[in-house]
């Protein structure tokens, strides 16, 4: 393809394996040629080096077109036999601190307008999720990157059955079945002032209290953190899983954010004071390309709503937020991440981050403007624990 690849890995055994995998030849007729004149296509052998992503001094400033990286996760599975520089031996806070150096070096060597893709997943501590993926996204945004796309990598063949399914129900946990592939972009250098967003109005968001439409019988719970539901009854299946798993269909309240143009029925004071086991917050207006002002208003109101509702949620109860990423001015506004950053209540523990999407054949990979379509939503599941272990 005429690409020059420079590959670094902290583990010398991984480099040895890569050399074995690259030990082959192809004929001229087998070569994939993407240049108009194949005689001018320069072919490069990959450079495989043992190295540390925190130090890319072998590469010049603004010299790289694309970075693909998969860091060893923070103190989950050790990647080497304690080689110096192996970040898998660091715990989460130290791991993120060291990844700051990786992000800064990546920004330095990447050309303006080019992309850096990082594969990262979450982990668990004390039966609750640590949002490592969202935390790492913050590291790269703070380094100066923009978030071009946020892809979800699904772990296939991860459906729990038998023992694991039964325990998923008994102990109310989901098997981690997804990773994040944030695709960052180094901002282009421009001499002209940035164009401000044209749509600056703050849509009036109102709240409506409703009972989700749940007619069909739920034969089986979703038991992993990826829910692929049929498009035909998508919302009903989603609602049923949430309500049945986190309130046993008993005491729950569902509040929906809608725009001012829709018919609404406001929660009254009596309803707001009623105790419940589940507060389920839905935000269908996010599917309608909201303005940046509406997004900020939504984040602020969600925090206020939860703060006001927390005293009414029984200890051991749940807050579940159905939300999704949106695209503003060509870049992703990662609302699930931003909600996690915002909701710093002492009695809330993040129990699950669930990715929800419609059936496999119901979405396109790429839109007409070159950006990826947003085809997934999130369920942020918080457990109310006023007394922590």
Half-sphere exposure of 318 (CA within 13 A, CB side): 28
Residue 388: pLDDT over 60: no
As a CATH number, domain 205-384 is: 3.40.50
pLDDT bucket at 29, cuts 50 / 70 / 90: low
Task: Please determine, for residue 134, whether its predicted confidence score (pLDDT) is greater than 70.
Answer: yes
Per-residue confidence (pLDDT) for residue 198, from 0 to 100? 47
With a cut of 60, say whether residue 366 has pLDDT above it: no
Is residue 352's pLDDT more than 50?
A: yes
The architecture (CATH level 2) of 52-185 comes to 3-Layer(aba) Sandwich (3.40)
Cα dihedral sign, 78-382-259-235 = positive
Indicate the pTM of the whole model: 0.88
Could you report the per-residue pLDDT of 266-305, keeping only the tens digit for each? 555 555 557 899 999 999 999 888 989 999 999 999 999 9
Domain ranges of the chain: 52-185, 205-384
Across the range 217-227, mean pLDDT stands at 83
Average pLDDT over residues 320-335: 96
Q: How far is CA 384 from CA 74, 128, 248, 253, 366, in A?
A: 26, 12, 16, 15, 39
pLDDT band at 365 (very low <50, low <70, confident <90, very high): low
Pick from 129, 63, 140, 136: which is nearest to 96 by CA? 136
Predicted confidence at residue 191, as pLDDT, reads 63
Q: What is the DSSP letter of 387?
A: S
Question: Average pLDDT over the chain, rounded to whole?
Answer: 84
* Percent share of the chain, pLDDT over 90: 55
- Residue 241, Cα to own-chain centre: how many angstroms? 21
> Which among 150, 149, 153, 71 has a CA at the least distance from the CA of 105?
71
Look up residue 205 and give its two tokens.
């968001």
pLDDT confidence bin for 28, thresholds 50/70/90? low
pLDDT, greater one: 150 or 387: 150
One DSSP character per residue, 58-101 reads TS-TT-EEEEEE-PPPTTSS--SSS-TT-GGGS-HHHHHHHHHH
pLDDT for residue 220: 79
- In this prediction, residues 85-96 reach a mean pLDDT of 83
CB atoms within 10 A of CB 335: 24
Question: Is 52-185's fold the same as 205-384's?
Answer: yes
Query: Per-residue pLDDT tens for 47-83?
Result: 999 999 999 999 999 999 999 999 877 666 777 677 7
């Amino acid at each position: 393809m005429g690409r020059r690849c420079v590959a670094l890995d902290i583990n010398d055994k991984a480099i040895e394996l890569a050399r074995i995998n690259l030990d082959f030849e192809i004929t001229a007729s087998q070569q994939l040629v993407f240049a108009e004149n194949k005689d001018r296509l320069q072919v490069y052998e990959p450079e495989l080096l043992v190295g540390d992503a925190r130090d890319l001094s072998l590469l010049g400033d603004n010299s790289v077109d694309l970075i693909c990286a998969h860091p060893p996760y923070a103190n989950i599975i050790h990647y080497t036999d304690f080689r110096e520089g192996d970040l898998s031996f660091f715990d989460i806070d130290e791991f993120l601190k060291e990844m700051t150096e990786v992000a800064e070096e990546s920004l330095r060597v990447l050309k303006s307008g080019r992309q850096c893709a990082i594969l990262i997943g979450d982990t668990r501590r004390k039966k609750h999720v640590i949002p490592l993926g969202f935390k790492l996204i913050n590291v790269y945004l703070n380094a100066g990157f923009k978030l071009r796309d946020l892809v979800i990598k699904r772990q296939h063949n991860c459906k729990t059955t038998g023992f694991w399914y039964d325990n998923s129900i008994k102990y109310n946990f989901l098997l981690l079945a997804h990773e994040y592939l944030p695709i960052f972009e180094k901002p282009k250098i421009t001499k002209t002032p940035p164009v401000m967003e044209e749509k600056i109005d703050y849509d009036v968001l109102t709240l409506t209290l409703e009972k989700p439409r749940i007619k069909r019988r739920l034969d089986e719970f979703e038991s992993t953190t990826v829910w692929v539901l049929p498009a035909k009854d998508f919302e009903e299946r989603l609602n049923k899983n949430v309500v049945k798993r986190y309130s046993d269909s008993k005491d729950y309240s569902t509040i929906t954010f809608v725009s001012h143009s829709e018919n609404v029925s406001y929660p009254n004071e009596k309803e707001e004071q009623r105790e419940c086991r589940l507060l389920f917050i839905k935000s269908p207006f996010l599917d309608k390309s909201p303005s940046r002002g509406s997004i900020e208003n939504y984040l602020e109101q969600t925090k206020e709503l939860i703060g006001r509702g927390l005293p009414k949620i029984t200890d051991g109860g749940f807050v579940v937020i159905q939300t999704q990423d949106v695209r503003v001015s060509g870049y992703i506004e990662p609302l699930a991440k931003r909600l996690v950053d915002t909701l710093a209540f002492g009695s809330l523990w993040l129990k699950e981050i669930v990715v929800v999407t419609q059936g496999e054949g119901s979405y396109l990979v790429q839109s007409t403007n070159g950006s990826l379509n947003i085809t997934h939503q999130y369920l942020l599941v918080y457990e109310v624990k006023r007394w922590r272990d």
